[in-house]
Structures are given as C-alpha cells and as structure tokens.
C-alpha cells in the first residue's frame, strides 16, 4: 500500500513533486502498488538518496 501523502514537511519540495508525478504515472499505466497482505503488486517504494539541490 502506498501511503497517500501530498506534501511532506521534512522532504524537499522537489521530492514531493517527483512523487506526485510517479503517482500519476502509476495510475495512467495501471500499475498496481505492492500489497504486503497479498504479496501482489509491482511498485513498493520510492527512495531518494542524498539531498536534492535546493531552489530548483
């Protein structure tokens, strides 16, 4: 299950924008998010390593 968070107060704003884009792409391509209870689904998580440049 993907927890639907629109804006994270501790993440960079660009990360929020990227996650929103990914969420839209998952829906448009009909890609199911991973469900731990059933073990079914393709997309489990987004991970951003390091810091994104600020002010872009």
Residue 33 counted as domain residue: yes
Average pLDDT (30-51) is 83
| CA-closest candidate to residue 43, choices 54, 52, 35, 34 | 34
Q: What pLDDT is attached to residue 55?
A: 56
Q: What pLDDT is attached to residue 19?
A: 85
Report yes or no on whether pTM surpasses 0.85: no
- Our measurement of the distance from residue 26's CA atom to the centroid of its chain's CA atoms, rounded to an integer in Å, reads 9
Q: What pLDDT is attached to residue 21?
A: 92
Of 35 and 52, more confident: 35
Q: Which runs of E-coded beta strand occur in 1-56?
A: none
Residue 22 counted as domain residue: yes
Per the structure, the count of domains in the chain is 1
| CA-closest candidate to residue 11, choices 46, 35, 38, 44 | 46
**Residues whose CB is less than 8 angstroms from the CB of residue 36 and which lie 6 or more positions away in sequence, other chains included:** 1
Residue range(s) defining the domain that contains residue 43: 12-49
């Amino acid at each position: 299950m993907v927890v639907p968070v629109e804006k994270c107060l501790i993440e960079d704003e660009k990360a929020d924008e990227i996650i929103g884009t990914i969420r839209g792409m998952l829906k448009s391509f009909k890609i199911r998010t991973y469900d731990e209870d059933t073990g079914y689904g393709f997309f489990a998580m987004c991970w951003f390593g390091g810091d994104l440049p600020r002010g872009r």
